[in-house]
Amino acid sequence: MPQISKNIMSPKVEKKIYDIFINSVSSVKSENEVVDFLNDLLSHTEKVMLAKRVSIAFLLLEGKLRYRDISKILKVSLGTIARVNGVLALQRRGYKKILGEALKKKALKILLSELIDVITIVPPKGANWSEWHIEKRRRRLERREPL
């Protein structure tokens, strides 16, 4: 976990710097601005830590993987997963609002790719059916990847 200075700030100063931080984050408009802002603000380790937490929340909200699977995929402890799950269970507003959109986009993408698989015309007589089945299976497996 990150370290915080032992020097205690007054609540008034703490609120002011928190407001500045929130205004700075909310003023970012494009994806490029987000990347630039985060690269300037956070170290590589902090970015990885935050990305893993967001990914844990995404996978937990998706509900398809167990703790152990998430732990193996993201190389995080079960305690970290439990903490993120606790936040999701108790508060849930921030994660759910942001990640809910990503889940909707992913669900739509999966639905469209499944529709394409259904309406794809089968190969004509004499064509390589095994290659067609292999390609169809590969696309189905790509949709099931956790991230």
- DSSP 8-state secondary structure symbol assigned to residue 89: H
The whole-model pTM stands at 0.66
Q: Residue 147: its pLDDT value, please? A: 53
Task: Please state, in angstroms and rounded to a whole number, the distance separating the CA atoms of residues 109 and 103.
Answer: 10
Half-sphere exposure of 11 toward its Cβ, with a 13 Å CA cutoff?
A: 0
With vertex at residue 130, the alpha carbon angle to CA 128 and CA 133, rounded to the nearest 5 degrees, is 115
d(CA 120, CA 91): 43
Q: What pLDDT shows up at residue 129?
A: 82
Helical axes 67-74 vs 78-90, angle rounded to 10° = 120
Question: Which residues lie below 8 Å from residue 116, measured CB to CB, with a gap of 6+?
Answer: none
pLDDT at 121: 66
Residues of the chain with pLDDT under 70: 1-2, 92, 108, 111-121, 143-147
